[in-house]
Amino acid sequence: MQFTAAQIALIVNGKTEGDASVAVSTFGKIEDAQSGELAFLSNPKYEEYLYSTKASIVLVNEDLELKETVAATLIRVPDAYSAFATLLTKYQEIATQQLSGIQQPSYIAASAKLGENVFVAAFAYIGENVRIGNNVKLFAGVFVGDNVAIGDNSILQPGAKIYRDCIVGNNVNIHAGTVVGSDGFGFAPLADGSFKKIPQIGNVIIEDFVEIGANSTIDRATMGSTIIRSGAKLDNLIQIAHNVEVGNNTVIAAQAGVSGSTKVGHNVMIGGQAGIVGHISIADGSKINAQSGVTKSIKSANTVVTGSPAYEYTAALRSQATGRKLPELEKKIIELEKRVHQLLSERVPNGS
C-alpha cells in the first residue's frame, strides 16, 4: 500500500510543505528511517534527526520552527504524535480488512450467528448461541464460549479466551493469551480448615473501544458483572478480580492487580505492579504510581498517591526526603549526646 503526502495530509488534516506527490509505503523512526518511509517528530530531543533523516515524509507539529533545510516533505499538524497514531490505526485497519472468511479446521456451533465480513482463523472455536457482529476478526486458537456476544469491528488475537455469557463491545482489541470470564477467586473457609468453592455465576462486560494486552485475566463476577467501561486500556499481565468495575478511559500498566469488588473511577492512571485491595473505591482522575499498594479508598478526585501502603504523593516525597537525612540526623544526635556527657562531667560538685 502506497500513500502520497497529499493523501496523508487529508487523513490527518495537515498541511504539506515540500513535494506533495512523494509516496511512502511503511513507517520508520526518524533517526534511521529510509526512503519510502514516513516518520514523525514530536519530542524536541530528536529534532537534530529531522535535518539528516532519509525518510520521505515527516509529520511535525505546526509550530515547529526549522533551523536548517529539510530534505523530506513535511506535513504540519497540531499534534504530530496523535497524527502518527491515527495513521498507524488506519494502516492496521486496511491490513486487517483484507482478512475475511472461515478457515479450516475450525468449529462454529449451528446456533451461532455471525455478521458480515467476519474472519475466523483455523483452530478457532465458537460455541452455542454466540452472536458476532460485523467485521470481527478471530485469530487462531481463539475460544468463544456459549452465549457470548461480540460487537462490530472487534479483534480477538491468537489464543484469546472468552468464557460463557460474557459480552464484548464494539471496536475492542483483546490480545494473545488473555482470558475473559474465568472464575473469580471465591472460596468459603470451613470448620475443618478446608475451603469450599463459591460458584461464580456472573459474567464480564467489556464496553466499546477497550484494549486489553496479552496474558491478562479478567474474572467473572460471583453475581452480576465485572465491568470494563468504554475507552479503558489495559496493559499485558494484568489481573482484574471478580465484580471489579474499571471506569471510562482508565489506563492500567503491566503487572498491576485490582482485587474483588473494587470500583475504579474514570480517567484513572495506574502504574505497573501496583496493587489495589478489594472492596474500596478509587476516585475519578486518580494517579497511582508504579508499585504502590493501595489499602483504602481514594475519595478525592485527581489525587496522586505513591508507596506501600500508598499515601498522598507530595507528603510521600517529603517523607522520602526526610528519610534520606536520617544518617546525618543520627550523627548529630550522637555528637549532641557526647557533648551533654562532656558538660555533665565538667560540672563542679556543689558549684554555683
* Residue 147 and residue 58 share a domain: no
Domain boundary among 51, 70, 97: 97
For 92, 207, 232, 287, 305, the CA distances from 283, given in Å and listed in that order, are: 35, 20, 15, 9, 12
* Residue 169 and residue 32 share a domain: no
* Residue 87 and residue 215 share a domain: no
CATH number for the domain that contains residue 30? 3.40.1390.10
The DSSP secondary-structure symbol of 43 reads S
The residue assigned the cell 526549522 is 66
pLDDT at 1: 74
- 300 close to 285: Cβ distance less than 8 angstroms: no
pLDDT at 350: 57
Domain boundary among 50, 65, 97: 97
* Residue 110 and residue 165 share a domain: yes
Domain boundary among 28, 63, 97: 97
In a domain, 351, yes or no: no
* Residue 255 and residue 108 share a domain: yes
The count of domains in the chain is: 3
pLDDT at 100: 84
CATH number for the domain that contains residue 231? 2.160.10.10
**Helix ranges restricted to H, 2-119:** 5-12, 47-50, 80-97
In a domain, 352, yes or no: no
* Residue 250 and residue 188 share a domain: yes
* Residue 296 and residue 149 share a domain: yes
Phi-psi region of 141 (alpha: psi -120 to 50; beta: other; left: phi over 0): left
How many helices (H) and strands (E) are present in the chain, helices listed first? 5, 40
In a domain, 337, yes or no: yes
* Residue 239 and residue 152 share a domain: yes
pLDDT tens-place values along the chain, 352 residues long: 789 999 999 999 999 999 999 999 999 999 999 999 999 999 999 999 999 999 999 999 999 999 999 999 999 999 999 999 999 888 877 777 678 899 999 999 999 999 999 999 999 999 999 999 999 999 999 999 999 999 999 999 999 999 999 999 999 999 999 999 999 999 999 999 999 999 999 999 999 999 999 999 999 999 999 999 999 999 999 999 999 999 999 999 999 999 999 999 999 999 999 999 999 999 999 999 999 999 999 999 999 999 888 867 787 777 778 888 888 888 889 989 988 888 888 775 655 4
Residues with catalytic roles: 242
Owning domain of residue 26: 3-97
* Residue 305 and residue 266 share a domain: yes
pTM greater than the 0.85 cutoff? no
* Residue 248 and residue 138 share a domain: yes
Q: How far apart are CA 300 and CA 283, in angstroms?
A: 6
* Residue 180 and residue 278 share a domain: yes
In a domain, 210, yes or no: yes
In a domain, 235, yes or no: yes
pLDDT at 318: 79
Amino acid at 294: V
